[in-house]
Structure 1
Amino acid sequence: MTVAQPESLFGLQFPSDPQLSPDGSQVAYVLTRIEEDKTAKDKVEGKTEADADWPKPRYRSQIMLGSAGAPRTLTTGKGRDTAPRWSPDGQSLAFLSDRDDKTQLYLLPLGGGEAKSLTGAARFPQGVSAAQWSPDGTTLAFLAPEGKADDRDERGEARVITRLNYRANGADFLPETPDALWRMDVVSGEITRWFAPPQPIGDVVWWPDGRGVLYVSSSSEEAEALWQQDVYELPLSGEPKKLTEWASPIGSLAPHPDAVRFVAETRLSSQRNDTDSHLYLFTPLGETYTATRLDGHDFPAGNWVAGDLHVGSSPEQP
C-alpha cells in the first residue's frame, strides 16, 4: 500500500466547471493541478539559504475539451485558465486567464488559432470576472472594477473603516466601490460600462431573448452584511428593476426558456443561514415574483465542494 505524502498532492488533478457545447456533443472544463514553482524564491531577509531556495507550490489550470474520444488540451501556460464559456454558435470559447498577471478575458476560436485577448491591464488593471455571452453571440457581459488597485498598504497609509463589509477571507480588504457591469461588442471590440451597482453583484445571466440580464444583489449595505439578496433585471438601456422581495442568499440563477420565469438556489428569508438551500421557481405575480420549491429532498441543492484545495469552480447555473 502506498502511503500518501505531502508530495502526493503534485500527482493529483482536479476537473471542474464543466460546460456543455450548444449542441451537447462536447464539454469544456477546467483541469487544475499543483506544481512546484522553482522560479519562485523567498527572498525575505533572515531566511537561510535552504529556505530561500525552497520551491513554492502553485496552482496551474488549463481548459480541456472532452467528447466521445480522449480529452483535448485547449490552453497551456504557466498561469490559471478558468471559466470556459461557449459562444452560442459553438465556434469559440471565452475564458479567463491570469497568464499576464491579472485575470483578463480571452477568446479562443475552436477551428484553430491562438487565444485572443479581449481585455487588458491598460483598461482593467485589477482584472475582470464573470463573463457571459448574450444569446445572439454578439456581446459579452462581464464584471470588473474601475481604476487601479488600492495600494494604501504598500504606501503605509492607514485605513478608516466606515463599512460593515470591509474584509473577506481569502480576498483581504474589499474594494470600496463594487465591480461595475461592462458590455463588449465582440466584433468591434468596443467596451462600454453598462451599470455601476450600489452594492456588489453576485450571479449575472442573460435573459434568453437578449433583452437584458438578471443579476443578484442586495438593496443596501446592511442587507449585504446580513446576506439578504434579491434578483434584479437590467435592460439593455434604462435602469434596473427589483423583481423579488426575498431577502435571502441567492445563487445558481438560471432563466426559464420562456424569458419570464427563473430558477435559483436559495432558502426562505425566515430560515437561518445554517439552513439547507433548495431549488425554487420564481414566477411573476403582480409587481413582484412568487417562488415555488421544486425539490423535495432533505439535503442541500447546488454544487458543493468542501476543502482547502483551490481546485477550480463549480458551474454558475444548475
Structure 2
Amino acid sequence: MTPNTSTNRPLELEDLGRFVVPAETAISPDGTLVVFTRTETLNGTAHSSLWAVSDGSEARPLTSGPADSGPQFVPDGSAVLFLRASDGPAQVYLLPIGGGEARALSCAADFPLGVAAARVSPEGLRLAITAPVSRNATGSVVEEPIVIDRLGFKTDGLGWNAAVRLHLFVSEIASGHVRRLSDGDWNASEANWSPDGLLIAFTAAIEPGSDLDWTSGAYVLDVDAKMPLPRRIGQATSVSGALSWSPDGGSVIAVGNRAPRTGNAELLRLYLGTDAADASLTAALDRNVMARLPGLPRRAPDVSCRRLRDPLLPTRARLDAAARARRRWHGLTGIARRAPPGGLCPVRGVRLRACGLRAHDPAEPG
C-alpha cells in the first residue's frame, strides 16, 4: 500500500484502491537487474507499468503505462519485450534498457484481437506468440446466434468465448513476417522455446471429450515444419499453463497431475521421444504448486543464488527455502508480506537451471 500515517485500524473498502502490487518479474541475463510489472489504481482505473530495480537501489519506472505487462529480457539483456494495450488489444513491444522509445513488434493487421503472450527465441530472432483468433468463416468475433456445442463456452472475467480460440504463431523480429502454427477447436497456452530454438512446447486440451473429462496434455510443435502438427510429451493428462524446458532439451517441466483428480497440483517432469515414465518432483510436498503467474516454472539466469542441491529433486525444506527467498523479494520491492502461521509461504513455483533447482535470494551473496 502507499504510505499512510493511520495504519492501526481495520482494513476498509477504500483501502483496496491504494494497494500497489508488483508482479511478473523478469531477471536480466547477468542477474543485475529485475524488471517487474507494477499495478495500481489511478482515478478508479487499473494502471500497470514496467519498473526496474537492482540490489541496493531504488525501483525506477521504465514505462508510463497505462497497460504494460509481461516483461521478459531478450537473450543478450539489451532490451525488454512486453505487452502494451493502451490503444486497443495488447501488442508486443520492445524497449531498450539503455534508453529510447519502445517499438511495436506486432500489429492489429496480423493480430486484430491482440496478443495474449509472446516468448523470444534463444537466438533472439523470432517470437513464439499465443494470440486469440476467430474460427468463424467471416473472421468476426461473435457468432449470431452463439452456438454452444461443448463445455467451456464461457471464461470467468471475459464472458462468452463464442468462436474465439487461442492459437500459436511464429514471427520474425527483423522482417515482421508472421506464420500461423496451430488451428483447432482448442486453446493453446503460452509457448516456450526449446534450448536449440527448433521446437515450442505448450499445453492444450486437444483430445476429443477433454471438456467432459477435464484432460489437458503437453505438446511440442516443430516451428520450421511446413505443416506443423502437435506431438504429445509424456503421459500426464492433467497439466496446464506454461512449460519449462530442461537445459538439455530432453524434457519439460509442467504443473498438474498425472491424471485429473481433486487435490494439490504437482511439479512433473515429462520426457520427449521416449517411453520413460513421468517423474513427480514434488511428490512429498504437502502443498499446492501453482500453475499461473507469478509461479510459473522458469529457468533462472546465471546469478548468485542458493543452490537447492539435488538436480530436479526438491524436498520440502528446499522448496521452503524458495518461499523464504520469495518473501525477501517482496522486501526488496518495498512490499511487505507477512508469513502465515508456522513461518512458511505457499510455494508459487521454482526456477530451473543446468545445475538443478535454485532459489534466488537477493539478501545473500550466494
| 1:314 counterpart (281, 294, 298) | 294
Please state whether the residue corresponding to 2:277 is helix, strand or coil. Answer: strand
Cα gap change, 1:234 to 1:197, in 2 (>3 Å) = farther
AA partner of residue 71 (structure 1): A
List aligned pairs for 1:6-155, cutoff 5 A. 6-36=13-43, 57-68=44-55, 69-77=57-65, 79-146=66-133, 150-151=141-142
- Where 1:179 maps in the other structure, the secondary structure is strand
**Superposed CA offset, 1:267-291 (max 9, x none):** 131x52x3101112223574x4521
Q: Which of 288, 305, 312 lines up with 1:300 in the alignment?
A: 288
Deviations, residues 154-199 of structure 1 (Å, cap 9, x unaligned)? xxx4323222221122121114252221111111222222222442
Which stretch shows the higher mean deviation, 248-257 or 17-26?
248-257
What per-residue deviation string (whole Å, max 9, x for no partner) do you get for residues 2-26 of structure 1?
4433222232100111111111111
User: Do the aligned residues in 2 keep the contact of 1:140 with 1:186 (CA within 8 Å)?
Assistant: yes
Q: Which residue of 1 aligns with 2:249?
A: 259
Aligned-partner Cα distance in 1 for 2:205–2:119: 21
> Is the Cα contact below 8 Å between 1:255 and 1:263 reproduced in 2?
yes
Q: CA deviation at 1:299?
A: 0.7
What is the root-mean-square deviation in Å for CA atoms of aligned residues?
Answer: 2.1
Are 1:278 and 2:266 matched, yes or no? Answer: yes
Q: Which is further off, 190-199 or 208-217?
A: 190-199
Distance 1:257 1:188, change over 3 A: same
Question: Which of 237, 248, 265 is 2:238 aligned to?
Answer: 248
Task: Give 2:258's aligned residue.
Answer: 268
- Whether contact under 8 Å (1:142, 1:182) holds in the other structure is yes
The residue type paired with residue 73 of structure 2 is W
Q: Distance in 2 between matches of 1:197 and 1:275?
A: 30
Partners of 2:105 and 2:132 in 1: CA distance: 16
Q: How has the CA–CA distance of structure 1 residues 202 and 245 changed in structure 2, closer, same or farther, with 3 Å as cutoff?
A: same
Aligned to 2:146: 159
For 1:262, give the aligned amino acid. Answer: V
In the TM superposition, what is the alpha-carbon distance from 1:249 to its structure 2 partner?
Answer: 3.0
Counterpart mapping for 1:196-275 below 5 A: 196-236=183-223, 237=225, 238-269=228-259, 272=261, 274-275=262-263
Confirm or deny: 8 A CA contact 1:183 1:192 kept in the other structure.
yes
Output one character per residue of 1:46-96: Cα deviation in whole Å (capped at 9) or x when no partner.
xxxxxxxxxxx211111111112111211103x321100110110111101
Number of residues paired by the alignment? 282
The alignment's TM-score, normalised by the length of structure 1, stands at 0.82
Identity of aligned residues (%): 27
Q: CA deviation at 1:316?
A: 3.2
Q: Which string of whole-angstrom CA distances, capped at 9 and with x for unpartnered residues, describes residues 120-155 of structure 1?
A: 223322111110010100001111233555245xxx
How far apart, CA to CA, are the structure 2 residues paired with 1:93 and 1:229?
31
Give me the whole-angstrom Cα distance separating, in 2, the residues matched to 1:284 and 1:158: 42
Q: Structure 2 vs 1, CA of residues 175 and 132 (structure 1 numbering), >3 Å: closer, same or farther? A: farther
Q: Distance in 1 between matches of 2:221 and 2:28?
A: 26
Amino acid at match of 1:32: T
Contact persistence 1:126–1:149 (CA under 8 A): no
Unaligned runs of 5+ in 1: 37-56, 305-312
CA distance in structure 1 between the partners assigned to 2:276 and 2:105 by the alignment: 36
SS in 2 for 1:245: coil
Gaps of 5+ in 2: 1-7, 298-349, 351-366
Distance, in Å, in 2 between the alignment partners of 1:224 and 1:254 is: 25
CA shift in 2, pair 1:192/1:105, >3 Å? same
Counterpart CA distance in 1 for 2:291 and 2:38 is: 17
Deviation of the 1:315 alpha carbon: 4.7
